Amino acid sequence: MQPWKTIESIPTTEGKLELRQRGQSAFLITIGGRVLMSSEAHRSETELAQLACDALAGRARPRVLLGGLGLGYTLRAALDRLPPRAEVTVVDLNAAVIAWCRGPLATLTDDALGDKRVTCVVGDVARVIAAARPGTYDAIIVDLYEGPHQVNNRAYDPLYGHAALARTAAALTPDGVVAIWSEERDEAFEARFAVDFVASSHKAPRGGRKHVVYLGKRALTRGSGGPVWKGRGFGP
């Protein structure tokens, strides 16, 4: 088997952010030596976008916020489900990731960033959500490393805490949708999620490691959400 070749390495506060390649079409993004994402395993990212965008069926010009670009598979899946007049804002912390998706990774997603519906922002998606005017987005999709499992399980987390989820709900249209990827189930987060969102439950398929997609529609009044999420697991 061919070894992985490092294409570019960027220093960050969490360690080196690296793009690696093996052969012609296999890619990894790693940070501090840990694999963030792989071109050989991205089923759950695709399902994340599809679940969110399918809930927007019938809207002629939906506005979608995507937090986290990665290898671009989530964006590609969203674009494949969205209508021609949709507007998608992609937010990523690192400009290098955006450059990679426009460069060596573009072939993986049929140049998703070149789609005229897409606008890229280098920044923190939590801050973008907090700064949004009420009712700005029809859907908010969050596809960040690890997600709201126990490592980030804090009630005051800037993206997954009580106040953060309330800000996410406020940034959505009254019938807006939020979809959040998580590496593992987290019951404390599920309880917080149910305060602001009416959650859908889905049967987990068999086989493979079970990542989780949290999907919810904005609750009409705070505290009227529920049921508590049961979770849908996806292979990686």
User: pLDDT tens digit string along 69-79?
Assistant: 999 999 999 99
Q: Is the domain of 8 the same as that of 106?
A: no
> What percent of the chain is predicted at pLDDT more than 70?
86
Domains of the chain: total: 2
Q: What is the average pLDDT value for the chain, to the nearest integer?
A: 88
What's the mean pLDDT in 200-218?
A: 66
What's the mean pLDDT in 89-103?
A: 97
pLDDT tens sequence across 119-165: 999 999 999 999 999 999 999 999 998 888 866 668 889 999 999 99
Q: What is the pLDDT of residue 155?
A: 86
Q: Is the domain of 50 the same as that of 167?
A: yes
Q: Is the domain of 62 the same as that of 92?
A: yes
Select, from the ranges 11-15, 92-96, 201-205, the one with the highest average predicted confidence (pLDDT).
Answer: 92-96
Select, from the ranges 82-96, 175-189, 221-235, the one with the highest average predicted confidence (pLDDT).
Answer: 82-96
CATH number assigned to the domain comprising residue 210: 3.40.50.150
Task: Name the nearest CA neighbour of 233 among 104, 90, 48.
Answer: 48
Measured at the CA of 183, the angle between CA 25 and CA 35, to 5 degrees, comes to 40
Q: Is the domain of 7 the same as that of 98?
A: no
What's the mean pLDDT in 48-60?
A: 94
Residue 218's domain spans which residues? 41-234
Q: Is the domain of 143 the same as that of 179?
A: yes
In this structure, the strands spanning 15-22 and 63-67 are unpaired
Q: Is the domain of 161 the same as that of 92?
A: yes
In this structure, what token pair is assigned to residue 64?
């979608």
Q: Is the domain of 93 the same as that of 190?
A: yes
- pTM (2 decimals)? 0.91
Is 24 strand, coil or helix? coil
